[in-house]
Amino acid sequence: PGLEKPPQEEFGLGPAYDSVLGEDAGHGGVLDHREYVIFDGSQALPRYLIWYRHADLCECFRCRSAAECRLTLPPLLFGQPV
């Protein structure tokens, strides 16, 4: 199931939840970081704006996937001579 709309109650009377939490590996889940999904934007209260950059040896899912892709594609696709 997608997260475009909230899951419905068992008898279809309305949404079962107004938000969901995806757990990170440190809390028994499979994600790199906790993910909070709120289905109605008017229920969100942003408190911080965070800017970050991945470290050179970052091991998160996104960086691992990108590294694996670089290993499987020919070097010329990345502008490097063979």
pLDDT, tens digit (0-9, with 9 covering 90-100), for 13-59: 888 888 888 898 899 998 888 888 888 888 888 888 888 788 888 88
Q: How confident is the model at residue 65 (pLDDT cuts 50, 70, 90)?
A: confident
- pLDDT for 76 equals 56
DSSP β-bridge partners for residue 36: 21
Q: How confident is the model at residue 3 (pLDDT cuts 50, 70, 90)?
A: low
DSSP characters over 27-49: GTSSBSS-EEEESSGGG------
pLDDT over 80 (residue 75): no
